[in-house]
Amino acid sequence: MLIRSLDFIFSLIALCILTPLLLPVILILRFSGEGEIFYKQERVGIKGQTFSLLKFATMIKSSPGIGAGEITLKNDPRVLPFGKILRKSKINELPQILNILLGHISIVGPRPMVPNTFRKYSKEAQCELSKVKPGLTGIGSIVFRDEEQFLEGKNDPRKFYDHCIIPYKNELEIWYVKNQSLLVYMKVIFATGWVIVFPKSKIISNLLRDLPKKPGYLQN
């Protein structure tokens, strides 16, 4: 109940503060690219129920059915010019504030996944993830904030994602569910703001020292 109250208060404050930024972004998207402002995508939430996740549109409309599909690669040609700026700055994620206010997600939690990706997680992970609301940010989101970098140069990015990235995300998300607390919640929010300013920082591993160790093949 406390976390839900904090989610609502923090999100309402953020929406008020960020409105001067969001309005110009909306106008630019409306009159550039394909004219789309928001992108809605089905994601898996608490108790395995699906909901529509909101983002600013950054890719061409047909992107889910072409190229790497649900995976975004570095210099992905499906990403629109202005979309590159939004994705790099993470501004494209801000419409999810509305998802928080509606109670679909929390500020902190496991990354909300599309059903196809959710099914690739272990049965244990699926069970654990279904116990909590997914989050705008989270441990997995911070560790893999530049996921394209891990996929760069791989002969089969999709296979590498499924067999190398997902298993470690499994461990991180299960760790979060089993260790969630108000302190972890606040640490993740702080770490999220920190890595936006200092993208190369490893602060999350310093704040949460007992996180599952990153496999050698994911060191960067």
Q: Would you list the domain boundaries of the chain?
A: 2-218
Let me know: does 71 contact 157? Beta carbons within 8 Å. Answer: yes
Q: Quote the pLDDT of residue 33.
A: 77
At 213, the amino acid letter reads K
| Lowest mean pLDDT, pick from 51-55, 151-155, 160-164, 188-192 | 151-155
pLDDT tens digits, residue range 71-113?
776 778 888 889 889 988 889 999 999 999 999 999 999 999 9
Report, in angstroms and rounded to the nearest whole number, the Rg of the chain calculated over CA atoms: 17
User: What string of DSSP letters covers 190-202?
Assistant: HHHHHHHHSTT--
Average pLDDT along the chain: 89
The closest of 134, 122, 173, 144 to 44, measured between CA atoms, is 134
**Can you list the alpha helix ranges (DSSP code H) found in the chain?**
2-30, 81-89, 96-101, 115-118, 123-129, 139-143, 147-151, 157-160, 166-179, 182-197, 203-207
Q: Please check the confidence at residue 51 and state whether its pLDDT lies above 70.
A: yes
Write the DSSP symbol of residue 219: -
Instruction: Quote the percentage of the chain above a pLDDT of 70.
Output: 95
pLDDT tens digits, residue range 167-209?
999 999 999 999 999 999 999 999 999 998 898 888 999 999 9
